[in-house]
Amino acid sequence: MVRTPCCKEEGVKKGAWTPEEDQKLIAYLQLHGEGGWRTLPEKAGLKRCGKSCRLRWANYLRPDIKRGEFSPEEDDTIIKLHALKGNKWAAIATNLAGRTDNEIKNYWNTNLKKRLKQKGLDPVTHKPINSTGLKPENHKPIRSSGSARLLNRVASKYAVDLNRDLLTGIIIGDPTFIAVDSQMIDSPTENSTSTLLNKMAAKSTSLTSIPINNTSTSSGLSDNCSFSDDFTDFFSNEEISDMYTNVDNVGLMEELKSILSYGGAGAGDIKESPEVNNVADEMEFLDSWNEEGDLDLDKFVSSLESKVGVFV
DNA sequence: AAGGGCCTCAACCGCTATAGA
DNA sequence: CTCTATAGCGGTTGAGGCCCT
DSSP string, A227-277: GGG-GGGTS-HHHHHHHHTSHHHHHHHHHHHHHHHHGGG-TT-----SS--
- Distance in Å from C20's C1' to A111's CA comes to 21
Shortest CA to C1' contact from A110: nucleotide = B8
- Distance in Å from C5's C1' to A38's CA comes to 9
Is A172 buried (19+), middle (13-18) or exposed (0-12) by CB count in 10 A? Answer: buried
Q: Nearest Cα to A49, choosing from A96, A82, A6?
A: A6
Q: Which residue, counting CA atoms, is nearest to the C1' of nucleotide B15?
A: A3
Q: Are A80 and A167 in contact (CB under 8 A)?
A: no
The set of residues with CB closer than 7 Å to nucleic strand C is A 4, 6, 15-16, 34-39, 50-51, 54, 58, 87-91, 101-102, 105-106, 109
Q: How far apart are CA A75 and CA A107, in angstroms?
A: 9
Q: How far apart are CA A86 and CA A82, in angstroms?
A: 5
Element (H, E) at A91: helix A89-93
**Structural domains for chain A:** 72-118 (1.10.10.60), 140-308 (no CATH)
* In chain A, % of residues over pLDDT 70: 38
| CA-angle at A152, arms to A151 and A156, nearest 5° | 115
Whole-number pLDDT of residue A129: 72
CA distances from A114 to A54, A77, A130, A172, A176 (A): 31, 16, 17, 22, 15
pTM score, two decimals? 0.51
Q: How far apart are CA A172 and CA A286, in angstroms?
A: 13
With a cut of 50, which residues of chain A have pLDDT below it?
Answer: 1-8, 131-165, 167-168, 170-298, 300-312
Q: Are A13 and A47 in contact (CB under 8 A)?
A: yes
Q: Which residue, counting CA atoms, is nearest to the C1' of nucleotide B11?
A: A15
What is the Cα A199 distance to its own chain's centre?
Answer: 19
